[in-house]
Amino acid sequence: MIKTVFSNQVISILLLGLVFFAFSSQKLNRFTFNVEYVAKAQVGDEVKFIFHVGDNVQRVKVYSDNRSLGTAFVAYNKAIFPFLFSYSGVKQLKFIGISSADDTVNVSYGEIVITGKVFQNDVLAYERKNTQTDNNVSASIDESFRKDVTNEYFLPKRVNTSLRFPPTPNEDPFGKNQNVYATAIGHPTTDDVRNFIADISPDAQYLSRKYQIPASIVIAMASLESGYGFSRNAVYANNFLGIKQWKGNNSNAYQLKGQPDEHEGKVQILKITEEGQYIYDEENRPDNWYKRFNSRADCMTFLVEEIFLHKTGLWKRDYSSIARFYKGQIEEGVDKYSAAYTFVYSIGEKGYSHKGGKYYADRIMKLVDKYNLTQYD
């Protein structure tokens, strides 16, 4: 009898232990959040951040010195985020685990030492002056971009090679020239749209607060021009705004081969396909080169500082008076939606869109309305 009771007690304890172990394992799996990466790397070397996360994490946002580097999406509790640093120094890293409900569920910190020379590029020769960081912005632009140095660019190689695009005539005999503007096949999904806006909004808000530029318009423009990050320019050049490279050395620019002629009919046609599509002489054409950027933040900064504010005077059109007018309207108490409409209408009318102010403003404000983007102004 005693032995039977003892045996039953042992069995009960073992069962309880197994239940506790299973519960602990399940809880541990749910809340796991680890990241692996090298402690040191050279400028221009690809650094891979490898995340092992719990079931509650859908994506991981990566920051360096309070600047958003991008987002890694989780599959089977693992995510990989490759990045090339263009500046030397000790980088303070922050990793935020985000749930499918957009809640922050994990936060981790670290640092990495980047050594070597910065990449220099003579495509652009403008300076970015020292500015003060707004500590209230969670994902502001990296202060290394705010030094008195010539702007540096290099090829951003975080290309998702699994993406496929509808073919152009250069790629397939049945391809179409208009396919250069198409997004990657199967994208963007509803989640793609939501994640893109969530990713770029902190940097857009930083620029908005610093320069009194409507963040809603910057976000909507980037969304429209890049197909929420899934255009060829966005994927292969980090160019989310269709910013052209009209002059200078194209060694660090991206050529959108097959693009319809935007040079007043001056581009030589080598062949017309059976489908009536054009194969152009891509060797000497000037109209389909686009600037490469290191990051989304870098691209948006160029839009605001160089195009909207005409900071160095190198951009071909000057929209700075429109930016000043917007700032004055906000200071006078004009509602932000009306001021934003006037801003985008004015830049479209002044030449930002070849179809004019009303056409461009209607397209941009449609996105502002649909996604309530004035909440970011």
Those residues with Cβ within 8 angstroms of residue 237's Cβ, 6 or more apart along the chain or in another chain: 156, 253, 254, 290, 291, 292, 293
Strands 40-42 and 104-115: parallel
So what's the pLDDT on residue 16?
A: 56
pLDDT over 90 percentage in the chain: 54
Rounded to whole angstroms, the Cα distance separating 87 from 69 reads: 13
Answer for the pair 205, 376: CB distance below 8 angstroms, yes or no: yes
pTM confidence score = 0.61
pLDDT by residue (tens digit) across 180-223? 999 999 999 999 999 999 999 999 999 999 999 999 999 999 99
pLDDT by residue (tens digit) across 328-376? 999 999 999 999 999 999 999 999 988 899 999 999 999 999 999 999 9
CATH numbers and ranges of domains, the chain? 33-117 (2.60.40.10), 177-254+288-376 (1.10.530.10)
Rounded to whole angstroms, the Cα distance separating 47 from 66 reads: 18
pLDDT by residue (tens digit) across 130-173? 233 333 333 333 333 333 222 333 334 445 557 899 999 999 98
- CA 125 vs CA 76, 319, 348, 375: distances in Å: 45, 20, 27, 35
pLDDT over 70 percentage in the chain: 80
* Closest CA relative to residue 372, chosen from 223, 234, 188: 223
Residue with tokens 């632009």, as numbered in its chain: 141
So what's the pLDDT on residue 10?
A: 55
- Give the least confident one: 20-24, 73-77, 222-226, 232-236: 20-24
So what's the pLDDT on residue 161?
A: 58
Rounded to whole angstroms, the Cα distance separating 288 from 258 reads: 9
